[in-house]
Structure 1
């Protein structure tokens, strides 16, 4: 009897284990997609966790909220995207998918947001490279000189510094205004 139950449990769990170890068409993941990374983490309510994507080409982000509700925000303009500053987003209550086009400037910022409806959210994100999309050999970006790439990256760094300084300025200004209002009223 015990052997029969063990065989039955093994038979039921084998297909689930196989789908976890190798994504298939059943998961909505074509065989042509190459799994690059699996990222697991926890995020508190109302908080962000940030990742940086440096891989070239078309990248697919599959994120599953295992507990709570984690949302996905992506941008090629800032490394700290949020629900205010993003280019691509997926904010469902379970499975979130974002396709990062190959023409997005690298590095790409990925923000994972813990929805405030849950005290803590747990997620697993799988990062896939789509091998079916080939690079355009006439793409100007592929043949840019190292000086052009350095100039572009230094311009992005200057823009990020400006955004950080602007954010600090506004934080200080709002803090001062709050103090003045407390004194007056």
Structure 2
């Protein structure tokens, strides 16, 4: 019985040490449609703010985790210096903070990182993801909802049609010049 308890304690210690030596990346639960744009690491003193500016368009996901202490996240599209009085979105947990910045927010978006006063210094790591799912048109998926694929007919993208139009405009202009020279 004592040997079994000792083995259990050793197993728990090894699991804890493995997590300490090789901490898990939070990318394991990130959907494939999300693209990592930036990774920011920093320190913030107790009661202080650090400010970042987001210029990327589209739906952006801010994943911030406090490595030491407790850093909180405030986001606004009205001010570049959001705080706990002036913000539109916030996440103030003691662990991982997540804020989803909608694509219709005016750019630039202000991001405020606040160091909680309970800790002399807070250390954080923030990953900024771009959500590509907004680009996909739900009517072009080809799925009928019952598991059967619908037939999709090929159509020319607008850019190809524009290039074709420019090509024909130039060709007709050249033909007019040649005809004017000849006649």
TM-score range, shorter chain: 0.5 to 0.7
Using the size of structure 2 for normalisation, the TM-score is: 0.61
Structure having the higher helix fraction is 1
**2:24 is equivalent to residue 23 of structure 1:** no
1:99 Cα shift? 0.1
Aligned residues: 121
Give the deviation of 1:120 after TM superposition: 0.4
Residue 135 of structure 1, CA deviation: 8.2
Matches within 5 A, 1:98-109: 98-109=99-110
Q: Structure 1 residue 134: deviation in Å?
A: 2.1
Contact 1:36–1:129 under 8 Å retained in 2: yes
Provide the TM-score with structure 1 as the length reference.
0.61
The question of whether the paired residues in 2 share the 8 Å contact of 1:57 and 1:135 is answered with no
RMSD of aligned Cα (Å): 2.3
- Give the superposition deviation at 1:107: 0.1
Instruction: Supply the distance in 1 between the matched residues of 2:32 and 2:53 (Cα, whole angstroms).
Output: 25
Map of 1:40 onto structure 2? 41
Deviations 1:117-154 (A, max 9, x none): 00000000000000011289xxxxxxxxxxxxxxxxxx
Instruction: Indicate the SS of the match to 1:35.
Output: strand
Structure with the greater alpha carbon radius of gyration: 2
1:2-81 matched pairs, under 5 angstroms:
16=22, 20=25, 23-25=27-29, 29-81=30-82
Gaps of 5+ in 1: 1-7, 137-185
Unaligned runs of 5+ in 2: 1-13, 138-183
Q: How does 1:1-185 map to 2 (within 5 A)?
A: 16=22, 20=25, 23-25=27-29, 29-134=30-135
